[in-house]
Structure 1
Amino acid sequence: MSSTATSLAAGERLEVLFDEIAELCGQRNAIDGRLVQIVAELEREELAGLTGVRSMSALVAWKTGVAPRNAETVVAIARRLEEFPRCTEALREGRLSLDQVGVIAERAAAGSDEHYAELASVATVSQLRTAIKMEPRPDPETRPESGPEVSTTSTGERYTTYRIRLPRLEAAKFDAAVQSHHDALIAEHPADTEEAFPTRVDAFMSLVEAGWDSDVARRPHGQHTTVVVHLDVDKPAAALHLGPILSEDERQYLLCDTTCEVWFERHGQPIGSGRT
C-alpha cells in the first residue's frame, strides 16, 4: 500500500491516509467498546474486589496502562451502559470514539441517549461539551426552611458557643434590644477608667439580666439559678439532682445571694418543707 500511495498525487495520497486513519480509529473504538463491556461486567459481578484495588478506575488504569483520567472515562461509560444503549452501540461498532461517549456518559442527563447518539455522529468532543452545558437542568428540589432554633457547642473548658436562628421580625427585635443595652452600657461607662469598653456580648448579658430582674419582680419566688440537692441524713455527702458537680468557687458564688428551700421526704413522700 505504501508504494502505491507514493505514486499517487498529493490529494489522492491524503485521501488514502485519511481512509486508513478512519479504519484504524474504527478498530480502536470497537476495542474500547468491548473494554467498556468487560468493565461493566466486572462491576456488575463485583469481581474487582478480588484484586484488592481501591477503585474500579484504578483497576482499569492498572490493567490497561492508560492514564487515570482515561480510566475514569471508561468506568463512567460502563456505569451508564444501560442508560445510553445507542451511544455505546455506536462505540462498539467503531462509529463513535471513547472520548465522545465519555463526555455524554459523564455529563448528559438521563433520557438523552437518542439525541446525543445522533448529535455525536457529526460533532466533536468540544462541541458535545458545549451542547451538554447548554442542556436545561431540572430545578433543584426546594427543601422546607427550618424554623427558629438555638444550638450550643462547648469550645474548651471555659467557653460555650451559641448559635441562634430567628425569623427576620424577631431578629430585628433582638438586634434592637441588644443595641439598646449596648448604648446604655456605653453611656454609663466612665471616661477616666482603664476598664474594657462594653461589647455586644456585655450588652447581651445585660439583656439577659434585665429579663431575669423582670421575672423576679413578676414571680417573687423565682430565682436566677435553681440547684436541687438530695441529702440523705444517713450519709455524709449530697448529690445534685441534675447538672455537673459544682466547684468550691462556683458554690460560694451561687450561695452568696440565694434562698434555700428545704423539703423533707420519707420513702420518697414529702413530709415537710421550709424556706430560709
Structure 2
Amino acid sequence: MSAAGVVIRPKDRVEMLFDELAELAGQRNAIDGRIVEIVAEFDHDELVGITGARSVAALVAWKLGMSSANAGTIAAVAHRLPEFPRCAAGMTEGRLSLDQVGVIAKKAADGSDDHYATFAEVATVSQLNTAVKLEPRPTPDPAPWSVPQRSITKTSDEQCVRYRMTLTHDDAATFDAALASHQDALVAEWKRDHDDDSAQAPPFPTAPDAFMSLVTAGWDADVARRPHGQHTTVVVHLDVKDRIASLHLGPLLTAAERQYLSCDATCEVWFERSGQVIGAGRTTRTINRRLRRALEHRHPTCAVPGCGATRGLHAHHIQHWEDGGTTELDNLVLVCPYHHRLHHRGGITITGPAPNITVTDSDGRQLHSSSLARPPNRPPPDVAPYRGPTGERADWWWYTPFEPPPPTDN
C-alpha cells in the first residue's frame, strides 16, 4: 500500500523490485568492469610484487575484502583482458556480469571474443560453461611407433632448476595415482585448516606441492637405510670475512638465500676464512618447542598484514642471525614461507621489536590488514539496466560451438 492509501498489487510490486534490481545490477557490472581494468594494470605492469601480495588474486581478495573465489574470477578476467575486448566492453557498459565474462576468460579459446560477446548476452553462467565445453579440443599427436625409454633430464639457470621426466604409460599411471593421493591429502589438510575460505590463506596445494610431499614421504620411509639416519640436511659453506656462502658441492648463494637458510632452516654451516675451514656452526637455527609455543600463542597466523596462513610457519629473526640477532622472543616472529622468502629477497621489510612489528613494502609503504572499501563519493555509473539472460532452455543441437580458425602457412 502506498502513502496515499492506494493498494499496489503483488505483481506490480514485483515488477518495481525487478526494475530496481536491473538498474543496480547494471551499475554493479559497470563497477566490476572498472575494477577489472584496474587489476589488469597491476597484472600486466607487474606491480603486484611491490605490494607484498603473493599473487594478483591474493591482492584483490586482500584489498577488496572478498572471497578467494571471486578474487580469482577478477584476476582471470584481468589477465586475459586484451584478448576479450568486446566481452570487457559489455561488462563496463552493464550488459554482462563478472561471472559471465569470468567463465569465458577462464576457459574459452583464443580468438573467441566475437563469438561469446554475442552469445553471453542471452546465456546464463551455466549455459556459458556448457558452450565452452563444446569447443573442439586440439588433436593429440599420434603415438610413436617405439616406446620411449624412461629418462630424467635436468637443466638449471640462475633462478631455478627444471626437470623433464619421460615415463611409459603404465609407469605414468602409477606416478599419477601416487601424485593424486598426496595432493588429495594436502588439499584435505588445507581445507581442514581454512574451512572459512579465507582469502589470506596459503596458496592452494598444487601438483608441485604434491610431488615434494611424495619425495619427502619416500625419503622418510627410507631413512633407516641411509648412512646417517637423518632427514635431509642442507650444507652451506660461509666465508666469515666476505659473507659469501655456497651450497656444498653446489652454486654460490645470494645474500637473500644465505640469510633465509640461517634463519630457521635445517642447515649445517661450515665457516671458512681464505678458503680454509675454521669450524662448524650450529646444526640448526630452529626454535625449541617452548619458544615455538610462545610464538604461536602470540602470533597464531603469519604476522604479515593481509596473510592468514596458519600452517608451515617459519620463525624469522627480525635482526638477522648472522648480524648478531638473538633467538629470543622479542627478536622472533612467525611468517609463512612465501613472505619469509619475499622478505629476504627485499620485497618486504620487517622491523621490530616483536610483537609490535612494522611491515613495509619495497617502496616503504606500511602494510595494513584492512580492505580499501569506503563509502563512495562518486555517482553510480550511468549505464542501462541489466537485462540478464533470457532464462530459456538451451537447444544445444542448434548451437554452433566456436572453432578456432585453421593455422595459416606463412
TM-score normalised by length of structure 1: 0.51
Q: CA deviation at 1:16?
A: 1.1
CA contact (8 A) 1:5 1:16 kept: no
1:97-112 to structure 2, matched below 5 A, reads: 97-112=97-112
Alignment of 1:47 onto 2:47: yes
Paired residue for 1:36? 36
Q: CA deviation at 1:138?
A: 1.9
CA contact (8 A) 2:77 2:101 kept: yes
Total equivalences in the alignment: 155
Structure 1: distance between partners of 2:143 and 2:51: 42
Q: CA deviation at 1:79?
A: 0.8
| CA RMSD after TM alignment | 2.9
Shift in CA distance, 91/143, structure 1 to aligned 2, threshold 3 Å:
farther
What residue identity is the alignment partner of 2:89? Answer: E
Structure 2: distance between partners of 1:137 and 1:107: 12
Paired residue for 1:89? 89
Paired residue for 1:117? 117
Q: CA deviation at 1:112?
A: 1.0
1:113-262 to structure 2, matched below 5 A, reads: 113-142=113-142, 149=149
Structure 2: distance between partners of 1:128 and 1:49: 33
1:5-44 to structure 2, matched below 5 A, reads: 7-44=7-44
Post-superposition Cα deviations, 1:200-223, rounded to whole Å, max 9, x if no partner, equal xxxxxxxxxxxxxxxxxxxxxxxx
Structure 2: distance between partners of 1:4 and 1:79: 53
Helix, strand or coil: the match of 1:12?
Answer: helix
Alignment of 1:63 onto 2:50: no
Shift in CA distance, 18/6, structure 1 to aligned 2, threshold 3 Å:
farther
Post-superposition Cα deviations, 1:209-244, rounded to whole Å, max 9, x if no partner, equal xxxxxxxxxxxxxxxxxxxxxxxxxxxxxxxxxxxx
Shift in CA distance, 148/127, structure 1 to aligned 2, threshold 3 Å:
closer
Structure 2: distance between partners of 1:98 and 1:86: 13
Post-superposition Cα deviations, 1:87-108, rounded to whole Å, max 9, x if no partner, equal 1110111111100000010011
Helix, strand or coil: the match of 1:66?
Answer: coil
Structure 1: distance between partners of 2:5 and 2:101: 33
Shift in CA distance, 97/151, structure 1 to aligned 2, threshold 3 Å:
closer
Q: CA deviation at 1:11?
A: 1.5
CA contact (8 A) 1:5 1:13 kept: no
Residue range with higher mean Cα deviation, 84-93 or 2-11: 2-11
Higher share of residues assigned helix: 1
Q: CA deviation at 1:143?
A: 7.1
Shift in CA distance, 11/44, structure 1 to aligned 2, threshold 3 Å:
same
Shift in CA distance, 62/11, structure 1 to aligned 2, threshold 3 Å:
same
What residue identity is the alignment partner of 1:135? Answer: E
What residue identity is the alignment partner of 1:122? Answer: V
Structure 2 gap segments, 5+ residues each: 153-166, 169-410
CA contact (8 A) 2:44 2:79 kept: no
% same residue: 59
Helix, strand or coil: the match of 2:83?
Answer: coil
Q: CA deviation at 1:59?
A: 0.3
Q: CA deviation at 1:141?
A: 4.0
Query: Greater relative contact order (Cα 8 A, min sep 6): structure 1 or 2?
Result: 2
Helix, strand or coil: the match of 2:81?
Answer: coil
Q: CA deviation at 1:7?
A: 3.8
Helix, strand or coil: the match of 2:139?
Answer: coil
Post-superposition Cα deviations, 1:42-64, rounded to whole Å, max 9, x if no partner, equal 11221111111111100000011
CA contact (8 A) 1:28 1:94 kept: yes
Structure 1 gap segments, 5+ residues each: 153-163, 166-276
Structure 2: distance between partners of 1:78 and 1:21: 26
Structure 1: distance between partners of 2:5 and 2:135: 45
Structure 1: distance between partners of 2:5 and 2:54: 49
What residue identity is the alignment partner of 2:98? Answer: L
